[in-house]
Chains A and B, each alone.
Chain A
Amino acid sequence: EAQVTQNPRYLITVTGKKLTVTCSQNMNHEYMSWYRQDPGLGLRQIYYSMNVEVTDKGDVPEGYKVSRKEKRNFPLILESPSPNQTSLYFCASGFEGNSNQPQHFGDGTRLSIL
């Protein structure tokens, strides 16, 4: 089954404690992306990747890092999380590397930073 898998689905942690949200897709997609979803603000893009070793900033990249060492994985790293990063995060993938069009989304990771 074609899917985008995020882990963990839920996490409560404290300010400053580094965390990583993993994202993996099994569709051999070139494009992957991270979004955060907040009430009243909709979906905002954090980072995206058009292919392996190629990453670009989205609209709200501050406080986040990503890497794309292999095609299937695109982890989101919060080096020093802060409460304003409490949000619902989605990873997405798409088959066309240069399109920046998400076609498949994961089920989300709800992060609470205390």
Chain B
Amino acid sequence: GQQLNQSPQSMFIQEGEDVSMNCTSSSIFNTWLWYKQDPGEGPVLLIALYKAGELTSNGRLTAQFGITRKDSFLNISASIPSDVGIYFCAGQTRNAGNNRKLIWGLGTSLAVNP
């Protein structure tokens, strides 16, 4: 079945550093979504990407829809302690029944040292 490889699995960085994470797949997607999950809470949608090559920002976060449609990247600039959490990517495609299916990565756990 379709799979997403999200990397790195975890990161431990110093406050102020930039962060980069990505999701790759052998399948083509027509939408990429990035979420953040804080401990004890549900995921929060950060950025949605709908076109190959699209680059979208949300504050210090920037995400890109890969030109091959098989990957996406999320960058966080000048990290702060509240960036701590688990970041998930999700790619959407249509299955054989023309239903939209969302495939999830396993997450990148980010720890920030103040």
A binds B: yes
Interface residues of A (CB under 8 A from B): 4, 40-45, 56, 90, 92, 98-108
Decide: A105 near B88, CB < 8 A? Known: A42-B105, A98-B100, A99-B100: no
Once A43-B104, A56-B99 are accepted as A-B contacts, the answer to whether A101 and B31 lie under 8 Å apart by CB is yes
Contact with A along B36-64 (1 / 0, CB 8 A): 00001111110010000000000000000
How many inter-chain residue pairs (CB < 8 Å) link A and B? 46
Q: Give the complex CA separation of A98 and B92 in angstroms.
A: 12
B101-114 contact mask (Cβ, 8 Å, vs A): 1 or 0: 11011110000000
Q: Is the Cβ of A105 less than 8 Å from the Cβ of B44?
A: yes
Q: How far is the CB of B49 from chain A (nearest CB, A)?
A: 11
Question: B residues within 8 Å of A by Cβ?
Answer: 31, 33, 40-45, 48, 88, 92, 99-102, 104-107
14 A-B pairs (CB sep. < 8 Å): A42-B104, A43-B88, A90-B42, A98-B100, A100-B99, A100-B101, A101-B31, A101-B92, A104-B45, A105-B42, A107-B41, A107-B42, A108-B41, A108-B42
Q: Would you call the interface of chain B mostly helix, strand, loop, or mixed?
A: strand
Query: Inside 8 A of B41's CB, which chain A residues have their CB?
Result: 105, 107-108
Q: Are A100 and B43 in contact (CB under 8 A)?
A: no
Given A90-B42, A108-B40, 20 extra CB contacts under 8 A: A42-B104, A42-B106, A43-B104, A44-B104, A90-B43, A92-B42, A99-B100, A100-B92, A100-B99, A101-B31, A101-B100, A101-B102, A102-B43, A103-B45, A104-B45, A105-B41, A105-B43, A106-B42, A107-B41, A108-B42
